Every structure is written in structure tokens, then in C-alpha cells.
């Protein structure tokens, strides 16, 4: 009679619900740790970039500026067409040339503004003369360089700033920031415009350095005409000396 040896019965491993839950939780915990390690800080907003540009411009202390106007009125007696020169912020000062229509006559006017005084060299006059900006119907150009109330002061006043296009300008990559400015801020600075209206503004900020390379202002500078002034800034921090002529 043949006897067979009984084989041990192989029972499948039973994983309890508690064990499965523990495994799942362990996996989730690892995923959370990986996510925390790989998460990045939020990208800077348009307002963040304007704040950076504000600080860079103030820290520079000096800058070269050009300003050009387009779609200007033909029936105004006095208005600025363009300007070019360099300025300092401490104290606010300007030395350059303003092209303007004064009493219906267009002229290039060498101009120095310093310590609240304005000197201009008018056509057919051999030297600079001290004058009042109100008499010429133009702003004191030194105010453009005031570290609080000047051009740099427009940056934090920009309403609803948004990041715009990125483009290359020579060796620089420029990030646009668009928004609006209250009319009072614009008219106080440029001595022209409807203080009750809003003005569109487009900044061109240089990536990496966050210098303000351009400021384009569009609105009713000479109502009802809609005009644009474009300001270009460069030569940040280069030596500038402005003295009384």
C-alpha cells in the first residue's frame, strides 16, 4: 500500500485594509515631499517689476533723457515738441535742449534748470536768461528728475499694471508693462493735459537690470486731441554736473 505525504497547503497572503491604507499614505507623503521640494516661488507680477524699476532708477541718481511728442496739436500757441538732456536727482537738475513752440514760433531752446531756477537761451539772444517756466508755458524740466515727484514717481502710481510683450531692442530684452495713470499726476509733471482724464502708459523695462528704458504716455494732453509723449532713459548713473550758466 502506497502512502502519500501530504503537502502543506499554500495560503495566499492577505493584505489587510489597514496595511493598504498605510501604503497609500506613505506614497502620498512622499509625493507631497517631492512637490514641496520642486515647487517654485510665484513669478513676479507687473507691480513687482515696476517696484524694482523704481528702485533701480532712484539708485542711479543720474540719467540721460530724450522725449518726443507725436500727434501734437497744430493750433496751440505753446507746447513741447521734444527734449534731450541729462539730469540729476540730488538736487533735481537738468541740462539740455528743449524743442518747443513758444507764442506760435518753433525753436530749439538750450535750457538749464537747477534749484528751482530756469535759464533758457532764446533765439537771437546771445546768452542764457533767467526766466519763469509759467511765462514760457512749459514745465520746469528739473522736476522730471525729482526722486519722489518726478518721472520715477509715476511707477508706483500706475493703476492696474499688466505684463505685456517681450521684445529685443539691440542687445537688450525689454519687458512691457501697461497700465493707466491719473490725469493729475501727468499734468503736474508735464504741465499739460486734462487732469480729470486717465492716461495710458506703457513702460519698457530691461530684463535682468530692470532699468526703465522707455515710458510712453498717451492721452488728452491738448484736448480734444489725443497725443503721445515717449520718454527714453539711458546712461544710468553716469557722471552729470549741472551748473548755473
Concatenate the DSSP letters of all residues of 134-156 into one string. Answer: HHHT---GGGGG-TTTSGGGGGG
Q: What is the mean pLDDT of residues 109-114?
A: 94
pLDDT single digits (tens) 126-162:
889 998 877 766 778 999 999 999 999 999 999 999 9
Between vectors from CA 235 to CA 61 and to CA 68, what angle results, nearest 5°? 100
Q: Is 226 exposed, middle or buried (0-12, 13-18, 19+ CB in 10 A)?
A: middle
pTM value?
Answer: 0.82
Query: If you ran DSSP here, which 8-state letter would residue 16 be given?
Result: P
Q: CA–CA separation, 34 vs 27, rounded Å?
A: 11
Residue 14's pLDDT is what?
45
Q: What is the mean pLDDT of residues 68-94?
A: 92
Residue 31's CB is within 10 A of a number of other CB atoms, namely: 10
Residue 125's pLDDT is what?
83
Q: CA–CA separation, 191 vs 80, rounded Å?
A: 10
E-strand spans in the chain?
Answer: 62-70, 79-89, 92-102, 105-114, 117-120, 129-131, 159-169, 172-182, 198-206, 212-222, 225-234
pLDDT(37) > 80:
no
pLDDT single digits (tens) 153-200:
999 999 999 999 999 988 999 999 999 999 999 999 998 999 999 999
pLDDT(12) > 90:
no
114 and 142 Cβ atoms separated by less than 8 Å: yes
112 pLDDT band (50/70/90 cuts)? very high
- Per DSSP, helices labelled H in the chain are 17-38, 46-60, 133-136, 183-190
Q: What is the mean pLDDT of residues 52-62?
A: 98
Neighbouring-strand partners of residue 108: 99
Give the CATH class of 46-234: mainly beta
Q: CA–CA separation, 150 vs 5, rounded Å?
A: 102
3-class SS of residue 70 = strand
Percent of the chain surpassing pLDDT 70: 83
pLDDT(30) > 70:
no
Residue 218's pLDDT is what?
98
pLDDT(8) > 50:
no
The grid cell for 118 is: 530756469
pLDDT single digits (tens) 200-229:
999 999 999 999 999 999 999 999 999 999
Average pLDDT taken over every residue of the chain = 86
Amino acid at each position: 500500500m502506497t502512502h502519500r505525504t501530504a503537502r502543506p497547503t499554500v495560503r495566499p497572503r492577505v493584505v489587510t485594509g489597514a496595511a493598504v491604507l498605510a501604503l497609500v499614505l506613505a506614497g502620498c507623503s512622499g509625493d507631497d515631499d517631492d512637490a514641496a521640494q520642486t515647487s517654485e516661488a510665484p513669478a513676479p507680477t507687473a507691480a513687482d517689476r515696476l517696484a524694482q524699476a523704481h528702485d533701480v532708477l532712484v539708485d542711479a541718481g543720474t540719467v540721460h533723457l530724450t522725449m518726443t511728442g507725436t500727434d501734437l496739436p497744430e493750433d496751440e500757441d505753446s507746447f513741447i515738441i521734444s527734449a534731450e538732456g541729462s539730469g540729476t536727482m540730488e538736487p533735481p537738475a537738468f541740462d539740455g535742449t528743449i524743442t518747443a513752440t513758444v507764442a506760435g514760433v518753433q525753436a530749439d531752446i538750450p535750457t538749464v534748470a537747477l534749484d528751482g531756477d530756469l535759464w533758457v537761451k532764446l533765439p537771437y539772444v546771445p546768452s542764457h536768461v533767467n526766466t519763469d517756466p509759467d511765462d514760457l508755458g512749459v514745465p520746469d524740466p528739473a522736476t522730471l528728475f525729482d526722486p519722489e515727484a518726478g518721472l520715477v514717481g509715476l511707477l508706483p502710481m500706475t493703476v492696474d499694471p499688466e505684463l505685456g510683450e517681450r521684445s529685443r531692442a539691440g542687445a537688450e530684452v525689454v519687458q512691457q508693462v501697461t497700465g493707466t495713470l491719473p490725469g493729475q499726476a501727468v499734468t503736474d509733471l508735464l504741465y499739460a493735459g486734462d487732469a480729470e482724464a486717465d492716461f495710458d502708459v506703457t513702460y519698457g523695462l530691461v530684463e535682468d537690470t530692470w532699468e526703465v528704458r522707455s515710458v510712453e504716455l498717451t492721452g488728452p494732453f491738448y484736448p480734444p486731441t489725443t497725443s503721445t509723449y515717449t520718454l527714453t532713459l539711458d546712461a544710468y548713473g553716469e557722471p552729470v554736473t549741472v551748473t548755473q550758466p
